[in-house]
Chain A
Amino acid sequence: MTTRESELSTKETADPKNWTNRLRGWLEGLVPKGQALPDRQPVYVASWIYVFGVLTLTSLVVVIASGCVLSLGGAAWWHVSSLGHYVNSTHLWSVELFFGFMVVHLWGKFWMAAWRGKRALTWITGVVLFGVSIGTSFTGFLSQSNFSAQWIGAEGKDGINSIGAGAFFNVLNPGQMLLWHVVLLPLGVGLLTLMHVILVRRHGVVPPLDAELEG
């Protein structure tokens, strides 16, 4: 068979060297079949502690949505508009809830030793996510263009500068901080969240300590 005939062949054979096939295979293998959005969970998933993961996730949705509405009006809109101020307040309080739920989620997972059963990367992405979220909120406080931002910048610069990072991450430059706050860091939070959730669905919810399979 000539090359031309091979290209025109309608026979469906998965060429393992085809980049598209390889990417599709990798994506399909991320989560076991039927486990991306299952309608059943293991019997031991029966506690209020499990709710805090999804509460963290939904708080992030509200944080991003309220941030997007603030972006529509621009950096100074919330200072001059009562609607803008209310959206800013919603943004602040959803952030407070986000961190509150995340801390309870983290402690819950700690006491459940949820890194067991090849789940260490799930735990690590969660901890990194917590750290990146703190950085994201910090740049938000620096982007307020009010007295708080002035003071937090004046105080915060010494910590960042002391480890040499201030040379690249200038907390006294609100233009840079705002872009980190609305582009770079949310991108990091979003990607880490996606990775974290995929890992949770990949391995399933961690079984109880000392649990043995029934039947």
Chain B
Amino acid sequence: MSRDRTPDAHDFPTRRYDLVKEFVIALVVVLVLSGGLAAIFSSPDEKAITMSGWAKADPDNLVTTAASELAGTTTSATYGAPYNTNAEGQKLGPLPLQKWGGVRVPVNSADLVLGPVSNVSDNPAISSALTEWKAATPEQRAKWATAYTDAIGTAAADGEPATGAGGEVAKVKPGDYGPVPALSAGLLALAKTGGLEGALTSSGNFYGGDQTKSLLLLADGAYLEDQAVAQNLGGDQWGMMNEVGNAPGQPWMWLYTFWYQVKPFSTSDNADAEVWGLMMLLTLLLMFLPFIPGLRSIPRWIPVHRLVWRNYYRRVKQP
């Protein structure tokens, strides 16, 4: 490390400077700018998607999602830590960081359906469906739910042909689906009443302040992502840093979001862990830049400082 010969700042000649006046003027400038920008551009506040809204706008997707939760094939059902042990989770190289975090927010995806519908009283169809579900073996349950989701299928999209009933629940052919259609329809009916969020969030707990289950169910469906993509907020659309409409979101996250757009991260199964690892490394490099030979010399090689201190350099060269 080259020896730091920087003189003591307190030994230089001084000039008058009013720090308090500078602070007050800056405060007024920021107040005027913030208040003015707020008055002109406001801030976006698009209402949260409700389960009722989802049920009414895309009931087929909600039913498909419910059946998939029962089949154990949704994103949350196959997530791993911190929700369950159904997957290894992402790794950073050989390090299973996600798994090491542990299952501290336990979520059983089937309970996202069974929990709410089991609170529905006076509905014999749901009661008998629940009884049939509970009496069945895990293998039988998976067989019913998978058969039903396959029968619903998906609509033709991106050059891919439609499968099953093309995603239309009403057109599903009769089959051995057990109680799955009744349970899924029960969740849809509950969602339409507006009671699903409460059943997931605060059932048995008057003060529900944790929306984990509601958000996982919502994110397991296609409706939330469809709404986000329509507003250019998808993961491959720099969605993490953008906001709805033209409002600025979090532009300071541009570098973090950038890595998701390029290979190898854009095609990696461990993209999140790898991007986080890379950002941690870059942050450490920036933090310890004063000690890194080469990097710390860049300001000498590209003399922007000549502009900052141009008056000083001019003065000391002309005694």
Contact = CB atoms under 8 A, between A and B. Distances in A.
Contacts of A151: 224, 227-228, 233, 239
A148 B215 contact: no
Interface string A78-118: 11000001101110111011010001000010111101111
A94 B31 CA distance: 8
B98 A163 contact: yes
Contacts of B9: 42, 117, 203-207
B309 interface: yes
Contacts of A45: 15, 17
**3 closest Cβ pairs, A-B complex:** A164-B101, A204-B9, A117-B6
Interface string A175-215: 11000000000000000000000000001111111011111
22 contacts: A39-B19, A40-B14, A41-B15, A42-B15, A46-B15, A62-B30, A97-B37, A108-B308, A112-B299, A117-B7, A127-B286, A147-B49, A161-B79, A161-B90, A162-B270, A163-B97, A164-B81, A166-B105, A168-B101, A173-B210, A211-B12, A211-B309
Interface string B174-213: 0000000000000000000000000000000000011110
Interface of A: 32, 35, 37-47, 49, 51, 54-55, 57-59, 61-62, 66, 78-79, 85-86, 88-90, 92-94, 96-97, 99, 103, 108, 110-113, 115-120, 123-124, 127-128, 131, 134, 137-138, 141, 144-156, 158-159, 161-168, 170, 172-176, 203-209, 211-215
Given A62-B34, A97-B34, A150-B218, A43 B304 contact: no
Interface residues of B, number: 105
A66 B225 CA distance: 32
Given A134-B252, A150-B224, A159 B272 contact: yes
A117 B215 contact: no
Nearest to B103: A167
Nearest to B256: A159
Contact of B19 (A37, A58, A144, A204): A37
A211 B97 CA distance: 48
A42 B316 CA distance: 14
Interface of B: 4, 6-20, 22-23, 26-27, 29-31, 33-35, 37-39, 41-49, 79, 81-82, 89-90, 92, 97-105, 209-212, 215-216, 218-219, 224-225, 227-228, 233, 235, 239-240, 243-244, 247-253, 270, 272-273, 275-277, 283, 286-291, 296, 298-300, 302, 304-305, 308-309, 311-313, 315-316
B240 A156 contact: yes
A39 to B, nearest CB: 7
Contact of B227 (A38, A131, A147): A147
A113 B35 CA distance: 35
B124 to A, nearest CB: 35
A145 B105 CA distance: 21
A209 B38 contact: no
Contacts of B44: 148
A51 B9 CA distance: 18
Contacts of A61: 27, 30
